Amino acid sequence: MGIASINPATGLTLQEFEALTEEVLEQKLAQAAATFGDYRWTSFAQRASWLRQAADVLEQNKQAYAQLMTLEMGKPLAGAIAEVEKSAWVCRFYADHGAEFLADVPVTTDASRSFVRYQPLGVILAVMPWNFPFWQVFRFAAPALMAGNVGLLKHASNVPQCALAIEDIFRKAGLPQGAFQTLLIGASRIADLVADDRIKAATLTGSEPAGASLAAACGRQIKKTVLELGGTDPFVVMPSADLEAAIATAATARMLNNGQSCIAAKRFIVHESIADRFEAGLREKFAALVVGDPLQAGVTVGPLATPSICTELEAQVNACLAQGATALIGGDVAALKAQLPAELRQGNWFPPTILTQIPPGTPADQDEFFGPVALVFQVTSLDHAIQVANSTPLGLGASGWSQDPTEQDRLITELDAGAVFINGLVKSDPRLPFGGIKRSGYGRELGIQGMYEFVNVKTVWVK
């Protein structure tokens, strides 16, 4: 089976790769297991040095890596450059703090000496998505490698060049051969892979069905998993909010990565007393966006990553419109394509769209809209806002906008999400744990908590 790299802006194939044969896959597994036998005993100082060198490689080649991301999945070039820089940041963060995070923790008990020791598990499989093809991988790899684990990457099949580039970055950084390897295989081979005794745990960022499938396969083998899945993140705006700042941030939060981010604000839940002003301001921001070739300076919205994402998003929007929703702007794919240069019209395009006056019972109630579509809901009170915000089965991130300390505290406490940001957009940060609740997954990446997901938390008691 071939794995193709396709430019989503044009629909043209960039490069094709053959999936690994069973023989080559076995060689990579054997190499990973053998490498772990030595790598686990390397010092924190040595691992930190390798991670800092990886950060150097990223920064020295950020333009080339960014262009590769843009060509394979369509994000605007400026955003891709920022992603490379953030990947370097997470490498340096764990290089600087990993030894401290993993140091023995003494505990006073009835023993002469007792403490907690953190030790690596072994070969960890990472099943990663296409939307942040560098960042998602490095936020797994940096803490896992710093802890003494080795990694196998099964990346999304539409970003094979990114996947191979990341393996090459760790090689250039000086890590031992086999410490981090890319596996060019299809999703259908994951279950057999996790059944191999040499793989000790797995992590996945992606869709809910993909997460359920991996968790089921690992569950049969009694193997640890961390899942970061979808989000229908609410963006709650109350009358006390700085409305101008809220509108500007709302546009940024929704359009991040062409709208293809799990933690992008998707449902804008606005108090009725300020809803007209919010909608008018958001429409103005959307109208100023520039859709086009993401490699070109000034373009703020590129294509969606695959044709199927466009098809699904268009069906969701059309279902809402058919049931009575109003499009303040956008919604017409054909009109957008007619405005694009001829060489881009076969790409995966969707116009920045705002839906409002959305009646109950549409896909907007529960579904994740993975693209540049903002869903605006009007509410009558903070109680009503929290009820709407919590009404979906997902719980990744949430943003609340209020200058009232009491309202802020209620939003922090009562919103069902793995992260709540007050008067700011939801974002990941190496210094803070990241992950969701409900059907958005479990476990945490980043922060000190992210380091502890793939280690043996060993109790030691000595008398």
- Residues with a catalytic annotation lie at 228, 262
CA-to-CA distance for 402 and 251, rounded, in angstroms? Answer: 17
Question: What pLDDT is recorded for position 444?
Answer: 98
Instruction: Report H helices in 288-399.
Output: 307-322, 333-339, 382-389
Instruction: Find the length of the chain.
Output: 463
Print burial letters for 98-113: b (CB count within 10 Å at least 16), e (below 16). Answer: beebbeeeeeeeeeee
Nearest-5° angle of CA 390, CA 392, CA 398?
50
Backbone angles phi, psi at 289, to 5 degrees: -70, 150
Contact 381, 404 (CB under 8 A): no
Task: State the amino acid at position 48 in one-letter form.
Answer: A
Mean pLDDT (whole number) for 378-386: 98
Centroid of chain to Cα 252: 16
Centroid of chain to Cα 147: 22
Question: What pLDDT is recorded for position 26?
Answer: 98
Cβ neighbour number for residue 380 with a 10 Å cutoff: 10
Over residues 104-162, the pLDDT tens digits come to: 999 999 999 999 999 999 999 999 999 999 999 999 999 999 999 999 999 999 999 99
Contact 73, 83 (CB under 8 A): no
Question: What pLDDT is recorded for position 188?
Answer: 96
pTM for this structure?
0.97
What percent of the chain has a predicted confidence (pLDDT) above 70?
Answer: 100
Mean pLDDT (whole number) for 249-260: 98
Mean pLDDT (whole number) for 78-83: 98
What percent of the chain has a predicted confidence (pLDDT) above 90?
Answer: 100
Place of tokens 């686990």: 40
Print burial letters for 42-76: b (CB count within 10 Å at least 16), e (below 16). Answer: bebeebbebbbbbbbbbbebbeebbebbbbbbbbb
Sign of CA dihedral 236, 241, 247, 248: negative
Question: What pLDDT is recorded for position 2?
Answer: 78
Backbone angles phi, psi at 209, to 5 degrees: -60, -40
CA-to-CA distance for 271 and 376, rounded, in angstroms? Answer: 10
Cβ neighbour number for residue 80 with a 10 Å cutoff: 29
Contact 102, 116 (CB under 8 A): no
pLDDT at 1 over 60: no
Cα torsion through 290, 292, 298, 301, rounded to 10: 60
For residue 152, list its beta bridge partners.
125, 181
Q: How many CA atoms lie within 13 A of 219 on its CB side?
A: 7
Which domains are present in the chain?
2-229+440-462 (3.40.605.10), 234-429 (3.40.309.10)
Over residues 280-309, the pLDDT tens digits come to: 999 999 999 999 999 999 999 999 999 999
pLDDT at 174 over 60: yes
* Reported confidence tier of residue 18, pLDDT bands at 50, 70, 90: very high
CA-to-CA distance for 213 and 229, rounded, in angstroms? Answer: 12
When the pLDDT of each residue in the chain is averaged and rounded to a whole number, the result is 98
Mean pLDDT (whole number) for 237-241: 98
